[in-house]
Amino acid sequence: MAAAFVAGSAALATAAVSEQRRSAIVSAVERARGAIVNIHGEKTLPVDEQHQGPTEQIRRVNGMGTGVIIDERGYIVTNHHVVEGVPKINVTLADDTNCIARLVSFDVTTDLAVIKIDAGHDLPVIPVGTSSDLMLGETVIAVGNAYGYSHTVTRGIISALHRSVQVSELQGYDDLIQTDAAINPGNSGGPLLNVDGEMIGVNVAVRAGAQLIGFAIPVDKVMGIATDLLSTRRLKNTWHGVVAKPQSGRTGPGLLVAGIDESSPAATVGLRSGDVIKAVGKQPVARPLDFERALLERKVGEEVQLSVQRDDKPLTLNLVLGSAPERQKPADTAWDLVGLKLEPMPEREFNALGTRFHGGLAVTAVRPDSPAARQGIHRGDVLVGMHVWETVSLDNVGYVLSRPDFYQKLNPVKFYVVRGGETLHGHLLVARRRTD
């Protein structure tokens, strides 16, 4: 009897201690953990990266990193440098299931990428917070594949905001969150969480030689880039014509329609600026990324139901997706809007520049008194990026300058050029086209 009494008392004590031990940090990790994945793979690099040629020796490097699931179908956001040059991207889920991922879309300038796995079932999605209200000293949690130790959890505080960091000659970041939560190689692409278990940043870099100085890309920026990377128009040339932004207030969560493309499917169905989109089909939407996710695997001609609020009244509209119209030729657009005549560079010639970019466009002429001329762009420069996208082809430039939200969100548009081995940047202020 005595033994039974002791055992029972121990069980009660354990239960009481467990409640005390379940801190906010424990709950936060439990909430987010299922949506955090480990990424690993092998890439090959030249032994001497300055040496170019068919006889170059190569070395194999085992890479590792982290990612977060942003869509239950298996879309994952991570850092581009984690998956760059990896022919076989291996992903391990929180339950130790292994999958092979494919690269969907990426942007070198912001060092973000989206990959996709097919797990055969819906996956947990990371809870997303906001980086707009972060506080110095606020408790944060980093989770990642640190040195290959999967799902390593560290905690700290927000040490600073809006940091600009140059981690190498070829890679720099703007507007980062600084934290003293331990971030190590392998944490890249993993989440920085708040105590509610919401992602408020994506871990991206550490300061070499320093202790407890790590950096993360703010989640609001990550979500904006992910929206562009998963744009149905970018990936499938499927057109809806909605320019949206998050909104909150007395109408509750939803997407505020900030603009409508002329003659677009959205205009045809009667959607208006000022409307609030509450759901696409049965999927509620609170961010532009939710809207693009809801349309990701739909086809041109497919009808989708939009639940809309207009003047505090509910409304249902049936949007029929269209095919994006042909734009002005990219070369003409570049000359007309920014004053640049651009030509693609041969791969071998571009590689000789030794940059981290994947390609660029040679500037062969600059129109006097144009936005490009006023920013000091010269003939002979190489345009390698605009806003958050690389400019490997003329179509890339056309995509940026012809975006429906260009004047509302991107103008003046940031540009990157390579000149004499240096990467320079500035902002092009583009005047609206005359309509007469």
| 106 burial level (CB within 10 Å; 0-12, 13-18, 19+) | buried
- CB distance 359 to 174 below 8 Å: no
Which sign, positive or negative, has the C-alpha torsion 389, 158, 32, 246?
negative
Which sign, positive or negative, has the C-alpha torsion 272, 276, 282, 288?
positive
- CB distance 319 to 304 below 8 Å: yes
Q: Which residues contact 346 (CB under 8 A, 6 or more apart)?
A: none
Catalytic residue among 40, 81, 240, 387: 81
Instruction: Report d(CA 113, CA 101) in Å as an integer.
Output: 12
* 111 tagged catalytic: yes
Other CB atoms within a 10 A radius of the CB of residue 129 amount to 20
- CB distance 131 to 201 below 8 Å: yes
* 387 tagged catalytic: no
Q: Is 295 helix (H, G, I), strand (E, B) or coil?
A: helix
DSSP designation for 160: E
Q: Which residues contact 408 (CB under 8 A, 6 or more apart)?
A: 243, 258, 259
DSSP designation for 360: -
* 188 tagged catalytic: yes
Catalytic residue among 131, 150, 159, 188: 188
Which residue type does 241 have? Answer: G
Catalytic residue among 71, 80, 105, 111: 111
User: Would you please indicate which residues are annotated as catalytic (active-site) residues?
Assistant: 81, 111, 188
